[in-house]
Amino acid sequence: MKSRVHKSRIPGVNLVPMIDVLMSVLTFFVILTMSLTGRVIADLEPPESSGSPAREADSSPDPAPVLPRFEAGLNRHGEVLIEGNVVEREEFLQAIARFLETHPESDVMLTADRQLNYRQVDDLLSQMVEIGGDRVLLVVQP
């Protein structure tokens, strides 16, 4: 009598159906994202540059007036600059107060040197905000 010994086989995993499913899901999401990119949102106008043809064609008789801005700087030594001249902080803060009294809708802009410690910039900004409130801006240049 022959002994029948069954060899045990390790079941194999067929990867082809799994790859088909993954490719189908990937295709679905690619088609979905491509169809959403061209969607137009109602009542939304993108900003236009000042020299755009649309603005030149628009002949509005009364353009909005350009408000003056108070621009100041903080150099790498921590000195405050107004129009390129070094001034004391007290004089600078008084100049901001006078400017905002005469131009209540205008902004005060501070451009700081990149090498400064942020704490130095923050100290001056805090003093400026006490005077100017929400009209104080920090200019960050790349």
Residue 131, pLDDT above cutoff 60: yes
Long-range contacts for 101-106 (Cβ within 8 Å, ≥24 apart)?
Answer: 103/67, 103/68, 103/70, 105/67, 106/67, 106/68, 106/69, 106/70, 106/135
Residue 22: pLDDT band with limits 50, 70, 90:
very high
What average pLDDT does this structure show over 122-127? Answer: 86
> Does residue 63 carry a pLDDT above 60?
yes
Domains, the chain, in order of start with CATH, read: 70-139 (3.30.420.270)
Q: pLDDT tens digits for 31-61?
A: 988 877 765 556 556 666 555 455 455 555 5
What integer best gives the mean pLDDT of the chain? 78
